[in-house]
Amino acid sequence: MAYTKEDQKKIDETHDKVIEISIVLLGTNGDDGMCGDMKRITESHYKLKRNFWILVAFLAGSGVLGSGIWGITQLAH
């Protein structure tokens, strides 16, 4: 099967689009691209989630959380 000029044009356009997508996803010249951004967001989310549960554990351990819940239930009665 021989390629026509139209086929070659489509192949070249597809090649250029694949390069653009690769640059956006993987980055270039020190930029991490969208994949690098996603890694940083994931790490940040993990830290936030960990710190939230540490705060909840601290508040529950110090009695602030338990007494606050008890106080709220007493207001409802």
pLDDT in tens, the chain (77 residues): 688 999 999 999 999 999 999 999 999 888 889 999 999 999 999 999 999 999 988 888 888 877 878 888 888 77
Question: pTM for this one?
Answer: 0.59
Query: φ and ψ at 19, to 5 degrees?
Result: -65, -45
Q: What single DSSP character describes residue 32?
A: -
> Cβ-count burial of 70 within 10 angstroms (0-12 exposed, 13-18 middle, 19+ buried)?
exposed
DSSP SS3 for 30 = coil
Q: What is the dihedral of CA 32, 33, 39, 44, to 10 degrees?
A: 90
Token digits of residue 17: 């689009």
